[in-house]
Every structure is written in structure tokens, then in C-alpha cells.
Amino acid sequence: MDIDKIIKILINGGLVAFPTDTVFGLACIKEEKAIAKVYEAKGRSFDKPLPMMCDSLKMIKEVALVNDKAEKIIDAFVPGALTLIFEKKDSVEDFVTMGRKTIGIRVPDDDFILDLISRLGMPLMVTSANVSGEGSLLKWEDVLSCMDHRIDAIVCEDARGESASTIIDVTGEDIKVLRQGPILLEEIMEVLS
């Protein structure tokens, strides 16, 4: 699908499903009505904030407080299958994080998505393209049969990973793994030691 068409759909508050380096993603811009449409499409509980995708450390720093430890981890594993939980900056609206002071951010190892975010000039809100509580999807046909009529566009290629990203919380003294994915805690601790 043409990247300019996707940008137009997103800017107009639409939902786009696309493959990532992990699982299939469902994306919208950082706008209240668009975010609400993602929750509706997935049947997702409003107490679970959506993760964000950025194209660079520079963009992450525009929305989150990045400490030295987090920056070391980013240098080693980003872009890649790692979502980091940061404290958000005050400039990030509460509807983006469902009132929480933290935000999950990932930089995908995917040139198409990085180009898309870069051309939009802002982060995207991206979660897995599936019904909440069900397994992550990898094939575009499965996403289409599951999310059809709930999304405005889909990129017809399969995701390149086999599981969702590792999620780590870097807001405290110790790093906490909130979801185990392709990147292991041991690998992260090795980088920090």
C-alpha cells in the first residue's frame, strides 16, 4: 500500500494495520478520537494504555524522560523488539496514557514504519492488531478476517517476528520485565554491567 495514502488515512484519524519486526500492529495518530477507535476495534480495556512507536532516540526524548541507564539500553537494542516504560513528559496529554505518568515506547526495526513515522513527524500509537485477550497475529489475512470493518487500511504483508516485544520498566532503580519477548533480561543486564 502507498505510504502517502497511509499518512492521509492516519492524519484523518483512521486506523491502519501493518506488519512489524515482531507481530502485526494496529496504528493511529496521537489524537483522542483515533485512540478511542483503537480501543473500540480491539475491545481493549481503557485501563491499559496504548504503546507508542517513535523513529529515534531524539523523538523518544520529546515525549519521555530518558535516564542514562535507559539510554545505554537503547544504544544496544534499539531499533528492535524492546518496549521501554518511561516516565512521560508533562507535555504528553493524559488521554495518551489513560491518566498514567508512564508511557511505553518502542522503535521498531522496520524501515517502512520508521519512514512512515519520520514523514508524519510525530510518534504513532501502535498496539497489536488483534482482539484483546486473544493471541498476537502474524499474517495479514488473519488480521483482515479478525479486524475487517474495524480498520481503514491494511498493509498486505506478513509480520517478521514470532512474538511480541519484550517490555521493561526503566523508571525505577531496578529494571523490571513486564513481558518476556525476544530480548532477555540477561542480555540487558550484560549491557549495563
Rounded to whole angstroms, the Cα distance separating 191 from 91 reads: 31
pLDDT in tens, 170-183: 999 999 999 999 99
- What the block records as the C-alpha cell of 2 is 502507498
Q: Which domain holds residue 30?
A: 3-192
Q: What is the pTM of this model?
A: 0.96
Residues forming beta bridges with residue 87, ordered by sequence position: 65, 102
Report pLDDT for 166: 98
Question: With 90 as the cut, is the pLDDT of residue 72 above it?
Answer: yes
Is the predicted pLDDT of residue 83 greater than 80, yes or no?
Answer: yes
pLDDT tens-place string over residues 13-23? 999 999 999 99
Checking if the pLDDT of 1 tops 80, the result is no
25's enclosing H/E stretch is strand 24-29
CATH number of the domain within which 161 lies: 3.90.870.10
How many domains does one find in the chain?
1
Compute the distance between CA of residue 57 and CA of residue 134 in angstroms, rounded to an integer: 31
d(CA 20, CA 80): 10
